[in-house]
Structure 1
Amino acid sequence: MKRMQGGMTLIGFIIVLAVAGVFIYMGMKLIPMYSEYYSVKRALSEMSTDAEVQVADPAKIRDLFFRRLYVSYAENVEKDDFKIARKDAGWEITVDYEVRKPLIGNLDVVGHFTAKQKINRGGID
């Protein structure tokens, strides 16, 4: 009676490692993009509860937002990506930006992110 061994060949193992490596590499490109997006959302959320922001003019609000992003090392949000508009009794801030990172060769990964936050003036709900 002959016994048959089962398992993965060396070629199969190398292919599995290559596929796993590609996914890990893609994760290394995508995770910083989403981390920056959550920094933007966190900055907007913190600004909505900050008393200084609630009584500030749009130029001051913009300055405070970009100071918070500077602390978070968010570098893909530009001044043109920040929009502020009067809404009801306060302001509505919209941050709409795009991140493009090279992936492999001539392939890029592109992320388009939008975050909105309403800020009430003077603590009025």
Structure 2
Amino acid sequence: MRRHQSGMTLISFLVTAAVVGFFLFIVMKLFPMYKEFFEVKSALKGLANEAGIAHEQPAQIKEKLFKRMSINYVSNVKNEHVKVENKGGGQMVLVNYEVRVPLFYNLDAVGKFNAEQSLSGGAASAPAL
């Protein structure tokens, strides 16, 4: 009685490993820029929760945002990427930036990120008596 063996050959295993390795390489290259974007969004949400932030000047709002982003090691967002606009009863912070990551040889991955946060919440802090 003869048994028939089945399974992957060495060549099919190497092809599968190469495909999986290629996708892991791409994910490892792209993950940091997406992680940074989530840190930007987290900084914006934290800024929105700060008391009295809606009544501050745009320069002060930007300064506080950049302090929060520097704590989270956000390095791709520059001053020209952040805009503070008056909207209704509060202010709106807009962050628009682009990240370019070299993949291999002359091929780059480009990510364009846009985040916005309304600063209408938060009560003004009362003066101490």
- Identify whether the pair has TM-score above 0.5, normalized to the shorter chain: yes
Map 1:1-125 to 2 at 5 A: 1-120=1-120, 123=123
1:122 offset after TM fit, Å?
Answer: 6.4
Q: Is the 8 A contact 1:94 1:116 kept in 2?
A: yes
1:70 offset after TM fit, Å?
Answer: 0.4
2:107 maps to amino acid: L
Q: Is the 8 A contact 1:101 1:110 kept in 2?
A: yes
Unpaired stretches in structure 2, ≥5 consecutive residues: 125-129
Q: Which moved more, 1:33-42 or 1:44-53?
A: 44-53
Equivalent pairs, count: 124
Which structure has the higher relative contact order (CA within 8 Å, separation 6+)? 2
Q: Is the 8 A contact 1:94 1:117 kept in 2?
A: yes
1:3 offset after TM fit, Å?
Answer: 2.3
Distance (Å, rounded) in 2 between the aligned partners of 1:122 and 1:18:
52
Distance (Å, rounded) in 2 between the aligned partners of 1:30 and 1:53:
33
Q: TM-score, normalised by structure 1?
A: 0.91
Instruction: Give the fraction of aligned pairs with identical amino acids, expressed as a percent.
Output: 42
Superposition RMSD on alpha carbons, in Å? 1.6
Distance (Å, rounded) in 2 between the aligned partners of 1:30 and 1:122:
35
Q: TM-score, normalised by structure 2?
A: 0.89
Q: What SS class does the counterpart of residue 18 from structure 2 fall into?
A: helix
Superimposed CA distance per residue, residues 5-31 of structure 1 (whole angstroms, 9 cap, x where no aligned partner): 111111111111111111111111111
1:91 maps to amino acid: Q
1:104 maps to amino acid: F
Superimposed CA distance per residue, residues 46-92 of structure 1 (whole angstroms, 9 cap, x where no aligned partner): 11110152332110100000111100001111111101111111111
Unpaired stretches in structure 1, ≥5 consecutive residues: none
The answer to which structure has the higher helix fraction is 1
Q: Could you tell me which residue of structure 1 aligns to residue 127 of structure 2?
A: none
Over 3 Å counting, the alpha-carbon distance change for 1:121 and 1:58 in structure 2 is farther
Q: What SS class does the counterpart of residue 123 from structure 1 fall into?
A: coil
